[in-house]
């Protein structure tokens, strides 16, 4: 089967065509129109501007995705999938309404997809051998959670950040050091040039909880930088980056280890979300998986950030389970886990 998918939950408008045959996914097109340049001068995503920018490109990228895939909407596409939650409500509504109209006018089945399940599904593109149950660490700009994938459409969150998301903390620390939005990837690189000599709080919450916190570490870094600026002292940016990355990643690894202890029946681990592209996190998770003798699945870098292909894959599983949305489908800003 072939599915056409839409993703517009934040600051990327994406449309993809993915084919599914005998358990293998073939991404025939995956057009991502990024709004980063539009939001960069504000230092973060401006929701109203994001919604308008989605409106401007969604029709154009649909034609592009179909053309690149060599697919005819009426002859070759079996269903349409769209991210309906969680995300920025105005941004989500653009994708949801566009997908609904297209599905209705072409008589195609419509499937609603949870964005976080989409991030997890990015792993199936590269690793068709990955099968539930497994544990996923989802780390993005809006979420950071440990999620047990019970089957292709059923997930359970067993631990999460109690405040900021990991990507959000990366972006805020990068911003205060003068890096353009979103600075997560630049901070990842800068950390290699410094040493983790500064002590910042861990992202692991003390005790047996599987929850994490990124606001304490973020505030500690901001306070350190402000105090240096006030004193007119030079900021050792590379050391700040290395120390921040070390505290953020080691805390996540400590809680990941605790989560694996709590669910000994889980033998496979996957990473998901924009921060899954972080090289320090990938290296630390690889080390942990080797030490514990569990299978590790890392998404390809091009499928870590928001994209339509991951929504198509999650949508195919929902479709195969018989789930259908209709013209009354609404968007929802909050995460609605099953
Ligand atoms: O999943 P995503 O594309 O969007 C959301 O659903 O939020 O994640 C975006 C986040 C941003 O905070 C971005 O800075 C972060 O992922 N990110 C990174 C890296 N690449 C992207 N954070 C740290 N290191 C990276 N290499
Ligand atoms: Zn995302």
Q: What is the pLDDT of residues 123-141, one digit of tens each?
A: 999 999 999 999 999 999 9
Task: Give the containing element (helix H, strand E) for 223.
Answer: helix 215-230
159 touches ligand 1 (CB under 6 Å) = no
Which residue from 184, 271, 333, 335 has its CB within 8 A of the most atoms of ligand 1, so it is best to mutate?
184
pLDDT in tens, 89-122: 999 999 999 999 999 999 999 999 999 999 999 9
Residues 158, 163, 164, CA angle at the centre, nearest 5°? Answer: 105
Please, which pLDDT band fits residue 335 given cuts at 50, 70 and 90? confident
Output the CA 119–ligand 2 centroid distance in Å.
6
Closest CA to 312 of 99, 96, 122: 122
* Mean pLDDT to the nearest integer, 18-35: 97
pLDDT exceeds 80 at position 338: no
Please, which pLDDT band fits residue 337 given cuts at 50, 70 and 90? low
pLDDT at 336: 72
Specify the residue with its C-alpha closest to ligand 1, atom 24. 278
141 touches ligand 1 (CB under 6 Å) = yes
The CA distance from 252 to 145, in Å, is 10
Ligand nearest to the CA of 7: 2
Other Cβ atoms within 10 Å of 309 Cβ, number = 29
145 touches ligand 1 (CB under 6 Å) = no
Specify the residue with its C-alpha closest to ligand 1, atom 23. 184
CA-188 nearest atom, ligand 1 = 24
Output the CA 32–ligand 2 centroid distance in Å.
13
Tokens of 326: 């209709």
179 touches ligand 1 (CB under 6 Å) = no
The CA distance from 82 to 266, in Å, is 30
318 touches ligand 1 (CB under 6 Å) = no
Would residue 111 be called left, alpha or beta, if left means φ above 0 and alpha means ψ between -120 and 50 degrees? beta
275 touches ligand 1 (CB under 6 Å) = yes
Output phi, psi for 296, to 5 deg.
Answer: -120, 135
Mean residue pLDDT across the chain: 97
Which residue from 167, 245, 333 has its CB within 8 A of the most atoms of ligand 1, so it is best to mutate?
167
Q: Where are the alpha helices (DSSP H) in 3-78?
A: 36-40, 47-69, 73-76
Are 89 and 333 in contact by the 8 Å Cβ rule? The answer is: yes
Residues 119, 42, 238, CA angle at the centre, nearest 5°? Answer: 75
Taken in order 208, 297, 194, 191, the sign of the CA dihedral is negative
């Amino acid at each position: 089967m072939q599915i056409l998918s839409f993703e517009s939950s934040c600051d990327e408008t994406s449309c993809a065509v993915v084919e599914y045959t005998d358990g293998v996914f073939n991404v025939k097109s995956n057009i991502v129109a990024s709004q980063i340049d539009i939001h960069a001068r504000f230092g973060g995503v401006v929701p109203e501007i994001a919604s308008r920018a989605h409106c401007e490109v969604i029709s154009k990228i649909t034609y592009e995705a179909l053309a690149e895939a060599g697919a005819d909407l009426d002859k070759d596409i079996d269903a349409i999938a769209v991210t309906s939650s969680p995300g920025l409500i105005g941004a989500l509504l653009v994708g949801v309404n566009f997908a609904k109209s297209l599905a209705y006018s072409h008589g195609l089945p419509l499937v609603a997809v949870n964005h976080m399940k989409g991030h997890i599904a990015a792993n199936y593109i590269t690793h068709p051998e990955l099968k539930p149950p497994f544990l996923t660490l989802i780390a993005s700009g809006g979420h950071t959670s440990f999620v047990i994938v019970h089957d292709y459409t059923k997930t359970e969150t067993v631990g999460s950040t109690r405040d900021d998301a990991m990507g959000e903390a990366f972006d805020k620390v990068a911003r205060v050091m003068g890096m353009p939005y979103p600075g997560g990837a630049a901070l990842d690189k800068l950390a290699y040039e410094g040493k983790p000599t500064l002590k910042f709080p861990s992202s692991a919450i003390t005790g047996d909880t599987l929850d994490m916190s990124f606001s304490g570490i973020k505030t500690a870094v901001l306070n350190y930088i402000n105090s240096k600026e006030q004193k007119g002292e030079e900021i050792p940016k590379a050391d700040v980056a290395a120390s921040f990355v070390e505290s953020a990643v080691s805390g996540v690894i400590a809680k990941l280890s605790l989560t694996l202890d709590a669910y000994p029946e889980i033998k496979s681990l996957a990473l998901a979300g924009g921060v899954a592209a972080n090289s320090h996190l990938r290296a630390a998770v690889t080390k942990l998986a080797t030490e514990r003798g569990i299978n590790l699945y890392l998404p390809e870098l091009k499928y870590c950030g928001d994209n339509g292909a991951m929504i198509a894959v999650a949508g195919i599983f929902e479709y195969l389970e018989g789930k259908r949305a209709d013209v009354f489908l609404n968007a929802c800003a909050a995460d609605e886990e099953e």
